[in-house]
Amino acid sequence: MAALWLARASSQLARRAARRLPPLPSRHGGETSPWLLGSSAAAPPPVLGSPPLPPLERIVRRGFCSIRRFAGESSAAAAAADEEEPENGFAGGDQAIDFPGGKVSFVAEMNFLPESHGERISCYRVLDDDGRTISGSRFREVNKEVALKMYREMVTLHIMDNIFYEAQRQGRISFYLTSNGEEAINIASAAALSIDDIVLPQYREPGVLLWRGFTLQEFANQCFGNSMDYGKGRQMPIHYGSNRLNYFTVSSPISTQLPHAVGAAYSLKMDKKDACAITYFGDGGTSEGDFHAALNFAAVMEAPVVFFCRNNGWAISTPTTEQFRSDGVVIRGQAYGIRGIRVDGNDALAVYSAVHAAREIAIAEGRPILIEALTYRVGHHSTSDDSTKYRPVDEIEHWRTARDPISRYRKWVQGNDWWSDAEESELRSRVRKELLQAIQVAERMPKPPIAELFTDVYDQIPSNLREQERLLRETIMKHPADYPTDVPV
């Protein structure tokens, strides 16, 4: 149909030009047909035995326009190009056109699309604020073993965040940020994935690693940057990574991991793997160009990737009201042809069910999915931030107490008679003891040698880097007081 419309429109333009322009004088006498405007002479008649046009295409000249018809094009479309067209360009009162992407209807009225829908997109939820399942809610069932592991890991993540935060305040590590208030997003989403799924995180998803088996000692080694750190001390604290657990190393620049996730997902699709990629980002990340490029890339390539947005209301100190005017983030998926869902990010069962379903769709149908989890960053953005300077304290306290995801999920677990107060006390005591022990071990381990600054980029270290290493060693020897004494030279 698109070819038919193009043929009709081209024919009409050419015929109008032919009617309106006078014949042109020919250099050889006589007149030149207006159909051959721009040619130096009238087209000679075809000569018998002359070479035919290329088999894949033929060119139909129409004055200003040339219509290229490819092999396999409808003969009806070709014939229609030679038919006389009405002045309006559409015979028979056509009111629609087959345009790339689907049929588009024509209307006589000029209407602008509204800037937003009348009502906000609803938010999927399973548990109410008291930890009871909402009547009629549909969710993915979890057995006792999985449910208890989810709860234990949520508590472990919370304790780990608090202790590492205090360690930074004591000057024992240089930087930290917590996932306080977002524990359900971390653990429940991880529980819904397979270990074969590739994770490209932002920096507030250590719970995904925790669920997959990253030990408290491994977390401590990274934060202290010792010789057992997989990044060899080159990264800031909390920039975790694990090849073994299919968890890409955290990168500080916002949203750069999103296009990477699409590429990783497409590779899984090419290899026909029963797996997907998932990438996490905050509401502030949607203000980056990489967000839009990644969504369009994923939609066009039909990549099995889950985009998981933690909309916690604040991009450091910038509220969402100053970031965008759309109804949050999930609505943006429609503009790129991507399915999406908004979910209560403080409801562990809702997050688990949504991610589980998204993963199945992404793999089975080979398509991207966008999830927007509404939550709240209870802690400061990082140890470099004081959120009370831009957020009301009572707002923070409301989310810390009334909407705490761990407390809500615990009520549901206890309601099933799967958990007790005694087990709670034992868990918290044990995790705290293990983590403090891990910190002591991490502190005593030596730092990576200075030579590690120059390795793992080139197979053979080039001369300019060797020269830099030599100059660095000389400088350290001349000014030893200006450099840490625990780094082997």
Q: Is 74 a catalytic residue?
A: no
28 is catalytic: no
Q: Which of 79, 77, 69, 83 is nearest to 11 (CA)?
A: 83
Contacts of 107 (CB under 8 A, 6+ apart): none
Residue of 83, 166, 322, 395 marked active site: 166
**Residues 134-157: b if buried by 16+ CB within 10 A, e if exposed:** eeeeebbebeeeebbebbbbbbbb
381 is catalytic: yes
In three-state secondary structure terms, 278 is strand
- Contact (Cβ atoms closer than 8 angstroms) between residue 312 and residue 282: yes
Q: How far apart are CA 202 and CA 186, in angstroms?
A: 12
Catalytic annotation present for 105? no
Other beta carbons within 10 angstroms of residue 438's beta carbon come to 21
- Helices marked H in 61-196: 75-80, 144-169, 183-191
- The two three-digit tokens of residue 26, written as one number: 């020919």
Q: What is the DSSP letter of 93?
A: G
Beta pairing, strands 96-99 & 102-105 = antiparallel
Say whether 103 sits in a helix, a strand or coil: strand
C-alpha closest to that of 473 among 442, 453, 450, 441: 450
Q: Which of 26, 74, 194, 252 is catalytic?
A: 252
Q: What positions carry a catalytic annotation?
A: 166, 252, 381-382
